[in-house]
Amino acid sequence: MPAPVKITRTDRTSRQLHRYANKCKDRIQARRVRALAMVVGGKLRSEAADAVDVTLQTIRDWVIRYNRWGVAGLRDARRSGRPSLLSKSQTKQLWQWIVAGPDIETDGVSRWRVLDLVRLVKQRFGIVYSVDGLRRKLHSMGFRWITARPVHPQSSASKKREFRETFAQIVAKELPAHATNLPLEIWFQDETRHGQIGTLERIWAVKGKRTRVVRDFRFKYRWLFGSACASRGKAVGHVSKRCNTQETNIHLADVSKAVAAGCHGVLVLDGVSYHRSKGLVVPDNLTLIHLPPYSPELNPMEQVWDWIKSNFLRNRVHRTEDDVQTAMTQAWQRFANDPDRIASIMTRTWANA
């Protein structure tokens, strides 16, 4: 084996090399820098080699590169690879087709599959891609195969944007006179339903095996009313058999009690009938702000329901209605007892500013 090469560079100490490795985003480069930091710090090269699981010859090669080019020499050069079959203009055109989506009349499909895009590229450009080859191309262009989020056909992007941008003015306009000089707490409110008829969630399973999860098909269910405030990391909720004005009044009273003394609560919620009912009793320390129609994505409580159901309610069977209520109550308490989780999910800059 060739004689070990000494590290001749003195511009960085062992501690400085370790700091560089800890901040380095290139994991391969960081591993090499960390090994040389051990050597500079007085460790044996065999110890450094064992620590990063390489041979002594590899350590020697890294030392040569480090002596010549510093830590930059421990970074792998980018490989150019084979050139893309599509030109830049063709790639841009493909990107536009995917973003725009197919036309069922002309393209014959309601969503693009890789197989459809292979056929489209061949028809329009005369370029033949394999399915796997075009899938890699799509990934390199920044596309991912995901489940799309639903949106109501009457949903208005401009109204949602206007609501976010003018939220402070909307609140100021709706506040009662006695609350104009009080500190405000922004709360979001929503309801969700869960019952015996189960829904399944993805799980880790052994590759090649079709894992089965028990699912119920009975229809007994309960409603969960929930509200949360990001700035205080606080949440209140209750489980009910019904979803109506009476239950909403009970929930509003609970939120009113949770608002800090000397503060006024702003409760953001959707515009369903029982949120606008004449029988609604709004406490003096609360002001209701209704979201634009068909805009559930403005309400972070929707994400709370996803988190609760995915982690605690799906892939389960509830024998009785009481079991449903117990499971929903316990799931809600998991969320309500986690202030960091509440702040993480509920914070919206346009609302909490």
pLDDT above 60 (res 2): no
pLDDT of residue 312: 92
What average pLDDT does the segment 107-118 reach? 91
- Where do we find the tokens 């608002």? 259
What does the DSSP assignment read for 118-164? HHHHHHHH-----HHHHHHHHHHTT----PPPP--TT--HHHHHHHH
298 pLDDT band (50/70/90 cuts)? very high
What average pLDDT does the segment 236-251 reach? 96
319 pLDDT band (50/70/90 cuts)? confident
- Rounded to whole angstroms, the Cα distance separating 99 from 118 reads 16
Closest CA to 39 of 72, 6, 1: 6
| HSE, side-chain direction, 13 A CA sphere, residue 117 | 26
pLDDT of residue 304: 97
Tokens of 100: 């725009």
Q: Which amino acid is at 37?
A: A
pLDDT of residue 300: 96
pLDDT above 60 (res 1): no
pLDDT of residue 336: 97
Give 151-179 pLDDT, tens digit per residue.
Answer: 778 888 899 999 999 999 999 999 999 99
Q: Quick check: helix, strand or coil at residue 175? A: coil
Residue 287 near residue 151 (C-beta atoms within 8 A)? no
- Rounded to whole angstroms, the Cα distance separating 335 from 338 reads 5
Cα dist from 203 to 12, 141, 144, 238, 332, whole Å: 47, 29, 20, 29, 22
Give 36-94 pLDDT, tens digit per residue.
Answer: 999 999 999 999 999 988 999 999 999 999 999 999 999 987 766 678 899 999 999 99
Among the ranges given (136-150, 272-286, 307-321, 325-339), the one the predictor scored with the smallest mean pLDDT: 136-150
Give 196-235 pLDDT, tens digit per residue.
Answer: 777 777 767 677 776 777 777 777 889 999 999 999 999 9
What average pLDDT does the segment 336-340 reach? 96
Q: For the chain, what is the mean pLDDT?
A: 90
